[in-house]
Amino acid sequence: MSTPQPVEAISAPAARTVASAGQYLTFLLAGEEYGLDILKVQEIRGWMPVTRIPHTPPHVQGVLNLRGTIVPIIDLRKRFDLIKADYTPTTVVIVLSVTDKSGKRVIGIVVDGVSDVLNVTPATIKPPPNFGTAVRTEFINGMASLDARMVILLDSDKLLTEDELAALDAVQA
Protein backbone atom coordinates (compact mmCIF):
# COMPACT_ATOMS: atom_id res chain seq x y z
CA MET A 1 0.00 0.00 0.00
CA SER A 2 1.44 3.37 -0.96
CA THR A 3 1.80 6.20 1.51
CA PRO A 4 -0.08 9.37 0.55
CA GLN A 5 2.20 12.27 -0.29
CA PRO A 6 1.97 15.46 1.74
CA VAL A 7 0.26 18.30 -0.10
CA GLU A 8 3.54 20.22 -0.35
CA ALA A 9 5.11 17.42 -2.40
CA ILE A 10 2.48 17.51 -5.14
CA SER A 11 3.77 19.48 -8.06
CA ALA A 12 1.98 22.74 -8.67
CA PRO A 13 2.43 25.57 -11.14
CA ALA A 14 5.27 27.93 -10.35
CA ALA A 15 4.25 30.55 -7.82
CA ARG A 16 4.19 34.15 -8.93
CA THR A 17 6.56 36.58 -7.33
CA VAL A 18 4.72 38.75 -4.84
CA ALA A 19 5.85 42.33 -4.30
CA SER A 20 8.33 42.89 -1.53
CA ALA A 21 8.15 45.50 1.19
CA GLY A 22 9.77 48.82 0.44
CA GLN A 23 9.08 52.22 -1.02
CA TYR A 24 6.69 52.58 -3.95
CA LEU A 25 5.97 55.60 -6.11
CA THR A 26 2.20 55.74 -6.44
CA PHE A 27 0.32 57.22 -9.36
CA LEU A 28 -3.23 57.52 -10.62
CA LEU A 29 -4.65 55.99 -13.75
CA ALA A 30 -8.39 56.18 -14.50
CA GLY A 31 -9.17 56.77 -10.83
CA GLU A 32 -7.20 53.76 -9.55
CA GLU A 33 -3.95 53.95 -7.60
CA TYR A 34 -0.90 51.98 -8.75
CA GLY A 35 2.58 51.63 -7.29
CA LEU A 36 6.04 51.04 -8.76
CA ASP A 37 9.22 50.12 -6.91
CA ILE A 38 10.89 53.49 -6.32
CA LEU A 39 14.30 51.98 -7.18
CA LYS A 40 13.12 51.46 -10.80
CA VAL A 41 12.12 55.12 -11.23
CA GLN A 42 14.76 57.31 -12.89
CA GLU A 43 12.75 60.51 -13.06
CA ILE A 44 9.33 62.07 -13.40
CA ARG A 45 8.72 64.55 -16.22
CA GLY A 46 5.76 66.70 -17.15
CA TRP A 47 3.99 65.61 -20.33
CA MET A 48 5.56 66.94 -23.51
CA PRO A 49 4.81 65.99 -27.10
CA VAL A 50 6.70 63.00 -28.46
CA THR A 51 7.98 62.04 -31.89
CA ARG A 52 5.48 59.55 -33.26
CA ILE A 53 6.82 56.45 -34.98
CA PRO A 54 4.74 54.82 -37.75
CA HIS A 55 3.53 51.21 -37.44
CA THR A 56 3.88 51.01 -33.66
CA PRO A 57 1.21 49.52 -31.39
CA PRO A 58 -1.48 51.98 -30.23
CA HIS A 59 -0.08 52.14 -26.68
CA VAL A 60 3.33 53.34 -27.94
CA GLN A 61 2.92 57.10 -28.05
CA GLY A 62 6.31 57.67 -29.66
CA VAL A 63 9.80 58.50 -28.44
CA LEU A 64 11.53 61.27 -26.50
CA ASN A 65 15.16 62.30 -26.67
CA LEU A 66 16.18 62.29 -23.03
CA ARG A 67 19.71 63.71 -22.77
CA GLY A 68 20.84 61.77 -25.84
CA THR A 69 18.91 58.56 -25.09
CA ILE A 70 15.92 57.70 -27.26
CA VAL A 71 13.18 56.65 -24.82
CA PRO A 72 10.00 54.90 -25.99
CA ILE A 73 6.90 56.34 -24.32
CA ILE A 74 4.04 53.99 -23.41
CA ASP A 75 0.53 55.25 -22.58
CA LEU A 76 -0.55 53.00 -19.70
CA ARG A 77 -4.23 53.87 -20.21
CA LYS A 78 -4.02 52.40 -23.71
CA ARG A 79 -1.80 49.52 -22.57
CA PHE A 80 -4.34 48.52 -19.92
CA ASP A 81 -7.35 49.09 -22.23
CA LEU A 82 -8.75 51.86 -20.02
CA ILE A 83 -11.05 54.69 -21.08
CA LYS A 84 -9.24 57.38 -23.09
CA ALA A 85 -8.68 60.71 -21.37
CA ASP A 86 -7.11 63.94 -22.53
CA TYR A 87 -3.71 64.84 -21.15
CA THR A 88 -3.90 67.54 -18.50
CA PRO A 89 -1.35 69.64 -16.60
CA THR A 90 -1.07 66.80 -14.04
CA THR A 91 -0.26 64.17 -16.72
CA VAL A 92 3.32 63.01 -16.31
CA VAL A 93 5.84 60.61 -17.79
CA ILE A 94 7.53 58.29 -15.31
CA VAL A 95 10.91 57.24 -16.71
CA LEU A 96 11.76 53.69 -15.63
CA SER A 97 14.75 51.40 -15.82
CA VAL A 98 13.47 47.96 -16.79
CA THR A 99 15.29 44.66 -17.20
CA ASP A 100 14.52 41.96 -19.73
CA LYS A 101 16.44 39.09 -21.29
CA SER A 102 18.48 41.55 -23.40
CA GLY A 103 19.52 43.60 -20.38
CA LYS A 104 18.53 46.97 -18.99
CA ARG A 105 16.62 49.57 -20.96
CA VAL A 106 14.80 52.82 -20.30
CA ILE A 107 11.10 53.37 -21.04
CA GLY A 108 8.65 56.08 -20.12
CA ILE A 109 5.06 55.54 -19.07
CA VAL A 110 2.33 58.17 -19.31
CA VAL A 111 0.09 58.34 -16.23
CA ASP A 112 -2.66 60.70 -15.05
CA GLY A 113 -0.63 62.00 -12.13
CA VAL A 114 1.83 61.06 -9.41
CA SER A 115 0.42 60.65 -5.89
CA ASP A 116 2.99 59.87 -3.24
CA VAL A 117 5.85 57.66 -2.10
CA LEU A 118 4.52 54.93 0.19
CA ASN A 119 6.37 52.72 2.65
CA VAL A 120 4.76 49.32 2.11
CA THR A 121 5.21 46.67 4.82
CA PRO A 122 4.97 42.89 4.29
CA ALA A 123 1.76 42.75 6.33
CA THR A 124 -0.04 45.06 3.88
CA ILE A 125 0.86 43.11 0.71
CA LYS A 126 -1.60 40.57 -0.65
CA PRO A 127 -0.96 38.29 -3.64
CA PRO A 128 -2.27 39.44 -7.02
CA PRO A 129 -5.72 38.22 -8.01
CA ASN A 130 -5.97 35.08 -10.11
CA PHE A 131 -8.27 35.52 -13.11
CA GLY A 132 -7.07 32.37 -14.84
CA THR A 133 -5.78 32.59 -18.38
CA ALA A 134 -8.54 34.89 -19.65
CA VAL A 135 -6.99 38.07 -18.20
CA ARG A 136 -3.32 39.03 -18.50
CA THR A 137 -2.08 40.06 -15.03
CA GLU A 138 1.56 38.94 -14.90
CA PHE A 139 2.62 42.59 -14.51
CA ILE A 140 0.78 42.82 -11.15
CA ASN A 141 3.06 41.88 -8.25
CA GLY A 142 0.50 42.31 -5.52
CA MET A 143 -2.08 44.47 -3.85
CA ALA A 144 -1.19 46.74 -0.95
CA SER A 145 -4.08 47.15 1.44
CA LEU A 146 -3.59 50.50 3.13
CA ASP A 147 -6.39 51.68 5.42
CA ALA A 148 -9.47 51.97 3.21
CA ARG A 149 -7.64 51.91 -0.12
CA MET A 150 -5.97 49.35 -2.35
CA VAL A 151 -2.82 50.07 -4.35
CA ILE A 152 -2.04 47.82 -7.30
CA LEU A 153 1.70 47.05 -7.17
CA LEU A 154 3.17 46.68 -10.65
CA ASP A 155 6.27 44.86 -11.86
CA SER A 156 7.87 47.40 -14.20
CA ASP A 157 9.91 44.65 -15.86
CA LYS A 158 6.69 42.95 -17.01
CA LEU A 159 4.60 45.93 -18.15
CA LEU A 160 5.48 44.91 -21.70
CA THR A 161 5.92 41.38 -23.05
CA GLU A 162 9.24 40.19 -24.49
CA ASP A 163 7.76 40.53 -28.01
CA GLU A 164 6.66 44.11 -27.31
CA LEU A 165 10.09 44.98 -25.94
CA ALA A 166 11.71 43.47 -29.04
CA ALA A 167 9.44 45.64 -31.20
CA LEU A 168 10.63 48.70 -29.25
CA ASP A 169 14.21 47.76 -30.17
CA ALA A 170 13.22 48.22 -33.81
CA VAL A 171 11.70 51.63 -33.01
CA GLN A 172 14.89 52.77 -31.28
CA ALA A 173 17.22 51.50 -34.04
pLDDT in tens, 96-149: 999 888 789 999 999 999 999 999 999 999 988 777 666 677 888 999 998 888
Do 140 and 24 meet the contact criterion of CB atoms below 8 Å apart? no
What is the pLDDT averaged over residues 85-93?
94
Do 110 and 61 meet the contact criterion of CB atoms below 8 Å apart? yes
pLDDT digit string, tens, across residues 6-37: 433 333 334 455 678 899 999 999 999 999 99
Query: What is the set of domains in the chain, with CATH numbers?
Result: 16-172 (2.40.50.180)
Which among 111, 92, 110 is positioned nearest to 46, based on CA atoms? Answer: 92
pLDDT at 107: 95
Evaluated on CA atoms 85, 80, 43, 120, the torsion sign reads positive
End-to-end CA distance of the chain: 64
The more confidently predicted of residues 83 and 162 is: 83
pLDDT at 164: 77
DSSP state of 101: T
Do 72 and 63 meet the contact criterion of CB atoms below 8 Å apart? yes
Helical H runs in the chain?
A: 76-79, 162-172
Q: What are phi and psi of 36, to 5 degrees?
A: -125, 140
What is the pLDDT averaged over residues 81-101?
93
